[in-house]
Amino acid sequence: MEFLIIILIIVAVIVIPNIKIVPQAKAYVIERVGSYFQTWENGLHLKIPFLDRVANQVTLKEIVKDFDPQPVITKDNVTMQIDTVVYFQITDPKLYTYGVENPINAIENLTATTLRNIIGELELDETLTSRDLINSKMRSILDEATDPWGIKVNRVEVKNILPPHDIQEAMEKQMRAERERRESILKAEGEKKSAILIAEGEKESAILRAEAKKEAQIKEAEGEAEALLKIKNAEAEGIKIIKAAAPDEKIITMKSLEALKEIADGQATKIIVPSNLQNIATLGTTIKEMLKDEK
């Protein structure tokens, strides 16, 4: 009985530690007698004691590495500091385990050398404005170089570009001058538009005043013409009434005297009456004849 208990204890001590559960997004690289045997994915696994061992536990998640700033020299001999962020994922745990010693350090050194090569072909201004170009080139080069290590580089981002202090000051002055230039242009354009609007307003106002004056003159002329027409119509109507009344010579003579009075318009101090009243009668007879002729 004691012997059986001892055997059970030995089996438990040996077997239980060799039962392995691989979690999700993990992979175990297994060696048997010192050589690569297989890669365990997530699930329950049992390894043979003393023969199998877990050589490496690999995460299959995407890994993000922020590398320290690296000194680089541009094509126009400007030294700057650039730090990068690399997003990569292990696609083959076997190659990752046996492909290169210390893969993370290898990726960091490869990133630094690749960055120096790319920046060395660009001038300072191109470096500051070509981040997308730098990122795409680095991703392509790193992805190809890390294939033998079982690593896929998904994305590379240039995080910071730090030029020398004196160049930063010169760039700030240039940006300030550019902002002031744009401000002056916008101010000049605003004043120009304002002057144009004022001139157009004055022009429209002058046109409206001229049209109003023209309309007033037309209305005034039409009023005078209408008044004159009414006066003439009244005079014609008066003549018709006189003709219809058939006035005798005395009335005509009296109307002639009234006409003479109106000619004076009340302003003459004297009215000259012909010495021969017969002349007035003759005048009245002449007017009467004129009235008859009009009939």
pLDDT the model gives residue 176: 80
pLDDT per residue of the chain (295 residues) written in tens, 0 to 9: 677 788 778 777 788 888 889 999 999 999 999 899 999 999 999 888 889 999 999 999 999 999 888 889 888 888 889 989 999 999 999 999 998 889 999 999 999 999 999 999 988 888 888 889 999 999 999 999 999 999 999 999 998 888 877 777 777 777 788 888 888 888 888 888 988 988 888 888 889 888 888 888 888 888 888 888 888 787 777 777 766 666 555 555 666 656 555 555 555 555 555 554 445 545 555 545 554 554 5
Name beta bridge partners: 170.
none
Question: Looking up tokens 């008044």, which residue turns up?
Answer: 227
How far from chain centre, in Å, is Cα 290?
A: 90
pLDDT the model gives residue 191: 87
pLDDT the model gives residue 147: 92
Given a contact cutoff of 8 angstroms between Cβ atoms, the answer to whether 70 and 81 are in contact is yes
Give dist(CA 44, CA 163) in Å, integer.
54
Angle at 108 between CA 102 and CA 112, to 5 degrees: 145
pLDDT the model gives residue 35: 92
pTM over 0.75: no
The domains located in the chain, with CATH, are: 2-59 (no CATH), 64-163 (3.30.479.30), 246-295 (no CATH)
Q: Which of 243, 277, 232, 280 is nearest to 259 (CA)?
A: 280
DSSP 173-223: HHHHHHHHHHHHHHHHHHHHHHHHHHHHHHHHHHHHHHHHHHHHHHHHHHH
pLDDT the model gives residue 226: 85
Question: Looking up tokens 């055997």, which residue turns up?
Answer: 7
pLDDT the model gives residue 256: 60
